[in-house]
Amino acid sequence: MRDAGPADGGGPAAGLSPTDEPFAATGGDVSLLAPLAGLAGARPAAPDWFEAAIATAHDRAHVEVEGVPVEWLGWGEAGRPGVLLLHGNGANADWWRFIAPFLASAGMRVAALSWSGMGNSGHRARYATETFLAEALAAAEAAGLGARFAVAGHSFGGVPAAALAALHPERVARAIIIDTPFALLDERRPPRGPARPHRVHPDLETALARFRWAPVQPSPNLFITDFIARTSLRKVDGGWSWKFDPYLWEHFAFGDANQWLAGARAPLAYVWGEQSLLVQAGVVQRIRAIAPAGTRFVGIPEAHHHVMADQPLALVAALRALLP
């Protein structure tokens, strides 16, 4: 996620070629580079299922992990099979609010957390995957997911999901990884110049107009793009700014993601968007070669990298089929 847009497969996204740098703001297609600009701050119409999902009652609280408050959201009754949802880079727990209620209605206790440095969680001086694992376990405990629970992680969130499956199989019943470019993480990380503070936009309309996906992709459901942009912004002195810590990646210890994937000791599934620029032709095959035998692979047609924003109900169907 950047000031000119946030966050953070088969073929290329519409308007982009397979050789495009996925994090570059190339071309002049406003639908890619500023999908909400034409709305002038208005909320686009949304279908009834979406409005009902985001209006679903849920818990919202914080748990302290190594001195920092970590936000978590919860749906469904405690005591049911637990599922922990892990978001990607620059995102937050609210990005799951139109997905989680469908899992809760299927008889699960569902939780989502905002990693430190993102969403409404506190910021740290330094970040590490190991710290994120502690946050995930603490959020699962606080949300009442039970002694063993499933995890599903999107994009960057797939890395701690794989690490949990490798290092804590006694806690993780199953791990589902969604469009994480294992095998290419070093090659496909967004280029990082010197970190700088977020720009403060004078009003919400201006801030929303600066939103774009990273990697760049179309917005097939503008009502979801708008919701995600709004939940990624906060009111600050002088206007509006993005929630995530702009210095996070300057002070982050990543670890060996491929090793965690290969060493997973809980059952794995890999879900990807068949139009994702991060998981292009050949990448899934490379991931198959790394993942343990028995890993299930599910492609979501007409989905880009942000699968929950592109094909939310198809992702719900896939998750419900893959979860215990």
Report the CATH number at residue 279. Answer: 3.40.50.1820
What is the predicted pLDDT for the residue at 296? 98
Each residue of 121-143: pLDDT tens digit? 999 999 999 999 999 999 999 99
Tell me if 66 is assigned to some domain.
Answer: yes
Per-residue b/e over 100-125, b at no fewer than 16 CB within 10 Å?
bbbbbebebbbbbbbbbbbbbbbebe
CA separation (Å) from 163 to 62, 112, 133, 261, 323? 23, 17, 8, 7, 18
Q: Is the pLDDT of residue 254 over 60?
A: yes
Q: How many domains does the chain have?
A: 1
Tell me if 5 is assigned to some domain.
Answer: no
- The pTM assigned to this predicted structure is 0.91
What is the predicted pLDDT for the residue at 136? 98
Each residue of 237-248: pLDDT tens digit? 999 999 999 999
Q: Is the pLDDT of residue 17 over 90?
A: no
Q: Is the pLDDT of residue 14 over 70?
A: no
Each residue of 171-227: pLDDT tens digit? 999 999 999 999 776 554 544 567 899 999 999 999 999 999 999 999 999 999 999
Q: Is the pLDDT of residue 6 over 60?
A: no
Read off the DSSP letter of residue 249. Answer: G
Q: Is the pLDDT of residue 3 over 70?
A: no
> Can you tell me whether residue 175 is helix, strand or coil?
strand
What is the predicted pLDDT for the residue at 30? 82
What is the predicted pLDDT for the residue at 253? 81
Tell me if 136 is assigned to some domain.
Answer: yes
What is the predicted pLDDT for the residue at 5? 39
Tell me if 56 is assigned to some domain.
Answer: yes
What is the predicted pLDDT for the residue at 324? 74
Tell me if 210 is assigned to some domain.
Answer: yes
Q: Is the pLDDT of residue 322 over 60?
A: yes
Distance CA 162, CA 260 (A): 6
Name the CA dihedral angle for 24, 27, 30, 32, rounded to a multiple of 10 degrees: -40
In this structure, are strands 172-178 and 127-128 parallel, antiparallel, or unpaired?
unpaired
CA-wise closest residue to 153 among 126, 172, 170: 172
DSSP bridge pairs for 150 = 83, 174
Range of the domain at 61: 31-322
What is the predicted pLDDT for the residue at 251? 81
Each residue of 59-108: pLDDT tens digit? 999 999 999 999 999 999 999 999 999 999 999 999 999 999 999 999 99
Alpha helices in 191-311 (DSSP H): 204-209, 222-231, 257-262, 283-290, 307-310
DSSP bridge pairs for 55 = none
Q: Is the pLDDT of residue 12 over 80?
A: no
Tell me if 25 is assigned to some domain.
Answer: no
Mean pLDDT of all residues in the chain? 90
Tell me if 209 is assigned to some domain.
Answer: yes
Each residue of 283-305: pLDDT tens digit? 999 999 999 999 999 999 999 99
Q: Is the pLDDT of residue 308 over 80?
A: yes
Tell me if 98 is assigned to some domain.
Answer: yes
Q: Is the pLDDT of residue 269 over 90?
A: yes
Q: Is 289:282 a contact under the CB 8 Å cutoff?
A: no
Per-residue pLDDT band at 18 (split at 50, 70, 90): very low
